[in-house]
Amino acid sequence: AQKITQTQPGMFVQEKEAVTLDCTYDTSDPSYGLFWYKQPSSGEMIFLIYQGSYDQQNATEGRYSLNFQKARKSANLVISASQLGDSAMYFCAMREALFNKFYFGSGTKLNVKP
Amino acid sequence: GAVVSQHPSRVICKSGTSVKIECRSLDFQATTMFWYRQFPKQSLMLMATSNEGSKATYEQGVEKDKFLINHASLTLSTLTVTSAHPEDSSFYICSTPGQTYEQYFGPGTRLTVT
């Protein structure tokens, strides 16, 4: 079974609007971390936000927030007030405490339209 | 945050030759290094995990004799693609875990085999 599933290969959003990128995960490890990364065309992986499995509050980092629904095993990324520079690939990832490995989703290509 | 460098950033080699990619941690000791491969428009796939001073652990389906990983020091891990073929053309990225949940990525190496 896939550890991380991103069902949106591509998304369009109008500049200044909010957008939600979906991510669901699968694990039996009670201790895990969920991450979102941005990958522009240059290829570098840019860390956006982190949510620990025991965190009670949803994580927020500036314009990024993570909608963490543990029972549904979903960790959607919300980008508010989209900017043209947000156009990139976005990857959801999970790190299980037991194996210290990162599992990546297939990614979502976000295009912000002016 | 910690800095991880990769060299070279781009390399073109002829089929049948070997290519070495270096991944350096510049300001901390990296006991573990992950190596990923990313084909165009696809996700990062973990190839292997290297630990300083011991043999690398390869993921299922990755040929350890073709992708030689050496982690001889706490600041340097290398990936050598031996007898490279055009199908090995890809983007290779290394990363190392931080002390808590962080994962520090190198900027990546784009390999083209002609």
Q: A101: pLDDT confidence band, cut at 50, 70 and 90?
A: confident
Using an 8 Å CB-CB cutoff, list residues of chain B that contact chain A.
Answer: 32, 34, 38, 41-46, 49, 91, 93, 95, 97, 101-103, 105, 107-108, 110
Q: Report DSSP letters for B45-101, one per residue.
A: EEEEEEETTS--EEPTT--TTTEEEEEEETTEEEEEE-S--GGG-EEEEEEEE-SSS
Distance, in Å, from the CA atom of B8 to the CA atom of A77, rounded to the nearest integer, reads 33
For chain B (114 residues), the mean pLDDT of every run of 10, in chain order, is 88 97 90 93 92 89 94 91 96 89 91 97
B4-7 and A46-52 strand pairing: unpaired
Question: Which of B38, B101, B110 comes nearest A95 by C-beta?
Answer: B101
A35–B43 C-beta distance less than 8 A: no
The CA distance from B92 to the nearest CA of chain A, in Å, is: 10
B32–A45 C-beta distance less than 8 A: no
Structure tokens at B67: 């992708």
